[in-house]
Chains A and B, each alone.
Chain A
């Protein structure tokens, strides 16, 4: 019975991830916030096993990482993975959109397999060489040992990483400014008691902050872009890369995704940027950064970052992504190997369904057709309306203010041609401050002493109503704006 339930939840997670991945402007952490709410509902209303719900969250996260490339390609809405847009868009303009999609699916699927293989090797070697520990969720494994060895140096690792990301920008002063402002914003948000519900709430202050920085800001800017009609797309499902090139691109992506999945404060965008900077320095080969390799690598990074973010719960007993925070809150107790196993199974199955769906000619074409038939600007406006309303209903006036603040900050990077990943200073600065050991006096000096928000019990019915009202308003906005925001508003 339990196995059937888990399978049903994998399917549900797959469907949720497919929808959220196809809708532009939805950040994976926004999904994680929604999933905490959904989990609470399932847990309280139906007394479903927390493992089944954890499986649902993992399936949603991994499927989202496969599908979110589709709107990036065919709608041209800047997502947070802005680095991956250009080569993909170029291929779409050449009529090779379906080939680009296949490259992304291949990168994501291979990234998933390579990541699982890496985890299996780590655990096997650890099992054979290290003595088991008792009572600790973080199994005695090589990753845990590595993590504890580098923990004293995390401040320096993150500082050097941030500096590399800043000094490799063309506009260094702007990059530094965005990074510092994002960090300051992060410190203010993390110290804030203004959004009720507590840090573990389904809709905490993080929800409007991330929605603004990486969602609404991109959607707003996309309204100002002039886009051409979607050109005819060749019905080509084969890819022009050699197998060895695919394997190498995936291996690079998996390694980078693993690094950021296990380190605090860093995201997939940071990993891709760092990887390409290192490769540019080490290699003169031109093909290293060609479009096809780029798509495979960045897709592998996305998937392995998602997977290692979740696996970190078992490997080092720490949450490293929105999805892992949601799972951690749900399971409360330490995650043992027997809890980790069904989660891994869910990741593989959901990833397999995602791969098969997007590789299937009929499904792939259908997804592409649906996405490209949508009117780009009305869709962006409706998404802004949907997310703003949801933020207002769930986090109140202060949440809306955080959303406005984050949106204003998130808009600056693309306009001044600085990588959007600089906004990850939102996480990196508070994390670095924590690992520096100097946080106590610095927060007092900046008058940023934190206060906790009080827990508020929100009925799931209420969340469902908020969600439905926001969704209805979003659809209404789409219908209304479709009337006048027409013309050349697609890629």
Chain B
């Protein structure tokens, strides 16, 4: 199709495209989830009968950690009052979000999922994340250099990129096995620890791989030396 007829068809196509894409955009913006709909609240007690991958459910809990991946994926690790741990996966497509800190209490409505035996929930929209109560612990999702961690004493921060050395496990007097290592960046070296329950064999292997990581950790002090309580290791 060439010439005038072709030009006319192109103009018609552009008009149809503009109108339909605008209608879709308006439809997206004005879309609201049915407020009358009740979704099951997932807890440790009803996990077996209520947890179904792909179904919609609610989760209540306190934020244990906030983690930002390099590609913009934000993760809130939350723990419900009955001890259920679940990660809230916030894809960057959700847009800008209200700042959430460690200790905040959240209610999230979303689609349930599972990755490597870890429970996950993807919020339906950013409006599906409701901050029920603000916690007192301040947390930052900005990436901090290892040399600046002392400024964040007592807080949860993301540090990186760092490398890991001297990876060892040790068993405490209480019989718990923790993962101990050192993280370094340029000339800075700091002791780090992953408490039992927070690390897996895979974390240990990752730590020994020689790769660079972003780490999410609470900055604490032990024997007048900075020590990092690592919550999560993420390969750069």
Contact = CB atoms under 8 A, between A and B. Distances in A.
Interface of A: 133-136, 148, 152, 181, 184-185, 188-194, 198, 200, 221, 224-225, 332, 398, 401-402, 404-405, 408-409, 411-412, 415-416, 430, 434-435, 437-441, 443-444, 447-452, 454-455
A434 B72 contact: yes
B94 A440 contact: yes
B93 interface: yes
Interface of B: 1, 6, 9-10, 12-14, 16-17, 20-21, 23-25, 27-29, 31, 33, 53-56, 70-72, 91-97, 110-111, 116, 122-126, 201-202, 205, 235-236
Nearest to B69: A437
Contacts of B126: 449
Given A440-B94, A449-B94, A409 B13 contact: yes
Contacts of A136: 202
Given A443-B93, A450-B91, A452-B124, A191 B10 contact: no
A416 B29 CA distance: 33
A455 B55 contact: yes
A408 B13 contact: yes
Contact of B72 (A190, A193, A439): A439
A192 B13 contact: no
Given A188-B25, A450-B95, 18 more contacts: A152-B70, A152-B236, A221-B1, A398-B24, A402-B20, A404-B16, A405-B21, A408-B16, A411-B13, A434-B72, A440-B92, A449-B125, A449-B126, A450-B93, A450-B125, A452-B111, A454-B124, A455-B111
A440 B96 contact: yes
Nearest to B23: A401
B20 A401 contact: yes
Contacts of A455: 54-56, 111
A401 B24 contact: yes
A134 B92 CA distance: 29
Contact of B33 (A192, A434, A454): A454
Contacts of A411: 9, 13
B227 to A, nearest CB: 28
Contacts of B110: 452
A338 B88 CA distance: 32
B90 to A, nearest CB: 9
Contacts of A398: 24, 27
Nearest to A199: B111
Contacts of A437: 70-72, 92
Contacts of B12: 408
Contacts of A415: 1, 6, 9-10, 13
A197 to B, nearest CB: 10
A193 B24 contact: no
Contacts of A133: 205
Contacts of B24: 188-189, 192, 194, 398, 401-402, 405
A193 B72 CA distance: 22
20 contacts: A134-B202, A185-B17, A191-B28, A192-B28, A194-B27, A194-B28, A225-B1, A402-B24, A408-B12, A408-B14, A408-B17, A415-B6, A437-B92, A443-B92, A444-B95, A450-B93, A451-B31, A452-B110, A455-B55, A455-B56
B201 A405 contact: no
Nearest to A443: B95
A450 B126 CA distance: 8
Given A134-B201, A200-B54, A452-B124, A435 B71 contact: yes
A412 B205 contact: no
Contacts of B25: 188, 447-448
Q: 5 tightest A-B contacts by CB? A: A449-B95, A405-B20, A439-B92, A444-B95, A450-B93
Contacts of B55: 455
Contacts of B9: 411, 415
Contacts of A134: 201-202, 205
A88 B29 CA distance: 46
Contacts of B21: 184-185, 188, 405
A412 B92 contact: no
Contacts of B116: 135
A152 B69 CA distance: 12
Contacts of A452: 110-111, 122-125
A70 B34 CA distance: 48
Contacts of A435: 71
A136 B53 CA distance: 20
A364 B1 CA distance: 32
Given A185-B21, A440-B96, A332 B53 contact: yes
Nearest to A416: B10
B14 A412 contact: yes
A428 to B, nearest CB: 15
Most A CB atoms within 10 A — which of B20, B25, B124, B126? B20
A401 B28 CA distance: 13
A225 to B, nearest CB: 8
Contacts of A412: 10, 13-14
A92 B97 CA distance: 58
A191 B93 contact: yes
A449 B93 contact: yes
Nearest to A133: B205
A431 B201 CA distance: 32
Given A398-B24, A416-B10, A447 B29 contact: yes
A404 B56 CA distance: 30
